């Protein structure tokens, strides 16, 4: 991850209070809608949204995120970055896959298009949540 670029650009995002800002220099490789319990709790909603980018595409523009680490269902550890002032979750990095940064969709200035997002952990999807026709679905984590 690069640090402290001075201008904003399309693909920027940040926390709710504005203390932390970041930019993405490349579009996400994949967008996931995750229905697991951890993502539901993290987002305080029916699912979490993750835009997967290369770590080199993420540039910190302002502020310094705090980090909280938690175990994952697969036995790894997830480092979760958030604003220490307002608590907005910004991105996650799994220690067993540091080559992928999971940008939290709600922190992006321009929300990702969910029409073609992959839906993961659908085995834990809340009843009443509808997945658009044609979207790839995985009962748990997708294979590789």
pLDDT tens by residue, 86-99: 999 999 999 998 89
- Please compute the mean of the pLDDT values over residues 7-27 and round it to a whole number: 85
10-15 average pLDDT score: 84
pTM: predicted TM-score of the whole model, two decimal places: 0.85
Which secondary structure element, helix H or strand E, spans residue 43, and what is its range? Answer: helix 37-43
Once rounded to an integer, what is the mean pLDDT over residues 30-52?
93
CATH code at 2-124: 2.170.150.70
Q: Would you state the pLDDT for residue 135?
A: 94
Confidence of residue 25 (pLDDT cuts 50, 70, 90): very high
pLDDT mean across residues, the chain: 90
Residue 57 has a pLDDT of 95
Q: Which of 87, 111, 131 is nearest to 28 (CA)?
A: 111
Residues 20-49: b if buried by 16+ CB within 10 A, e if exposed = bbbbbeeebebbbbbbbebbbebbeeebbb
Residue 144 has pLDDT above 70, yes or no: no
With contact defined as beta carbons under 8 Å apart, do 59 and 45 qualify? no
Residue 121 is encoded by which pair of tokens?
A: 């952990």
């Amino acid at each position: 991850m690069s640090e402290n670029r001075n201008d904003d650009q399309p693909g920027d995002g940040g926390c709710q209070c504005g203390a932390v800002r970041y930019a993405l220099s490349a579009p996400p490789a994949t967008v996931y809608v995750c229905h697991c319990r951890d993502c539901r709790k993290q987002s305080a909603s029916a699912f979490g949204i993750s835009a997967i980018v290369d770590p080199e595409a993420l540039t910190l523009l302002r502020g310094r995120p705090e980090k909280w680490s938690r175990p994952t269902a697969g036995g790894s550890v997830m480092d979760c970055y958030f604003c220490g002032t307002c608590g907005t979750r910004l991105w996650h990095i799994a220690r067993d896959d540091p080559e992928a940064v999971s940008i939290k969709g709600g922190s992006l200035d321009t929300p990702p298009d969910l029409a073609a997002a992959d839906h993961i952990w659908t085995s834990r999807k809340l009843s009443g949540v509808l997945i658009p026709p044609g979207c790839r679905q995985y009962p748990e984590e997708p294979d590789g």
